[in-house]
Amino acid sequence: MTAFQALDLPEVILVTPRRFGDARGYFCETYVKPLYAANGIVADFVQDNESLSALPGTVRGLHMQAPPFAQAKLVRVLSGAIFDVAVDVRKGSPTYGRWAGARLTAEGGEQLFVPQGFAHGFCTLAPDTRVAYKVDAFYDRASECGIIWNDPDLAIDWRFTGETILSDKDRILPRLKDFDSPFVHSNG
Ligand SMILES: Cc1cn([C@H]2C[C@H](O)[C@@H](COP(=O)(O)OP(=O)(O)O[C@H]3O[C@@H](C)C(=O)[C@@H](O)[C@H]3O)O2)c(=O)[nH]c1=O
């Protein structure tokens, strides 16, 4: 059975889809809307994305889009492995500024659900890592914002020691303390 596991931040959910193995390999359902919704993954996904990172230690993040283009994401790995991270940036949230993460591998097929109001990023742990993710709002360049990956206040353990590789854009992102989050926590 597909397994759904809430992480330390309970809105962030690790999914391990069931695989049906046979002599050919395996078959696996990677997204089933009503099943996922019944397990806390409520989103109308409208776009699928894929990235390739050649080298281990490639960090992409921490990214989000501001409302009304805020995106929930369902992330998985097609080849290689990542440590995938979500940071709660909802003002007023009891878990504001805390992070949760999970190792996602092509071998295991795990997925991470990152809700709206959370910054998202990952570090690749293997060469030629391809990451695919569904999002529930379209890309909007003007709405993009983010937090620096190594903010000491977040103290994310990326599970990687060695030289990291970042885009020019990601190298100059602000720390959380200097970031005016466009997200507000609500209980409803
Ligand atoms: C995210 C995105 C980028 N692009 C373009 C913009 C740019 O020219 C090129 C590369 O974009 P970036 O450098 O922002 O790609 P990248 O650093 O991989 O950005 C992604 O990082 C992960 C962690 C996320 O969570 C994603 O939402 C996204 O922000 O692709 C699109 O056309 N559509 C999209 O949806």
User: Could you say which of 31, 133, 139, 185 is catalytic?
Assistant: 133
Q: Which atom of ligand 1 is nearest to 144's Cα?
A: 29
Q: Which of 63, 96, 120, 185 is catalytic?
A: 63
CA of 147 to the centre of ligand 1 (A): 15
Ligand 1 cavity residues, CB under 6 Å: 49, 51, 60-61, 63, 73, 120-122, 139, 167, 169
pLDDT tens sequence for the chain (188 residues): 999 999 999 999 999 999 999 999 999 999 999 999 999 999 999 999 999 999 999 999 999 999 999 999 999 999 999 999 999 999 999 999 999 999 999 999 999 999 999 999 999 999 999 999 999 999 999 999 999 999 999 999 999 999 999 999 999 999 999 999 999 998 75
Alpha carbon distance 83, 81 (integer Å): 7
Which are the contacts of 103, defined by CB distance < 8 A and separation ≥ 6? Answer: 81, 82, 83, 84, 110, 125, 159
CA distance 177 to 29: 40
Domain ranges for the chain, please list them.
3-178
Using the mean position of ligand 1's atoms as its centre, give its distance from the Cα of residue 92 in Å.
28
Q: Is the ipTM beyond the 0.90 threshold?
A: yes
Three-class secondary structure assignment of 5-33: EECCCCCCEEEECCEEEECCEEEECCCCH
| CATH code that applies to domain 3-178 | 2.60.120.10
CA distance 173 to 177: 12
Q: Could you identify the atom of ligand 1 that is nearest to the CA of residue 120?
A: 25
- Ligand 1 pocket test: pick from 47, 50, 51 the residue with the most ligand atoms within 8 Å of its Cβ: 51
Position in ligand 1 atom list of the atom nearest CA 138: 35
| pLDDT at residue number 62 | 98
CA of residue 40 to ligand 1 center, whole Å: 25
Residue closest to 145 by CA, chosen among 71, 84, 82, 42: 71
pLDDT of residue 109: 98
Q: How far is the CA of 21 from the centre of ligand 1 (A)?
A: 33
Residue 133 annotated to the active site:
yes
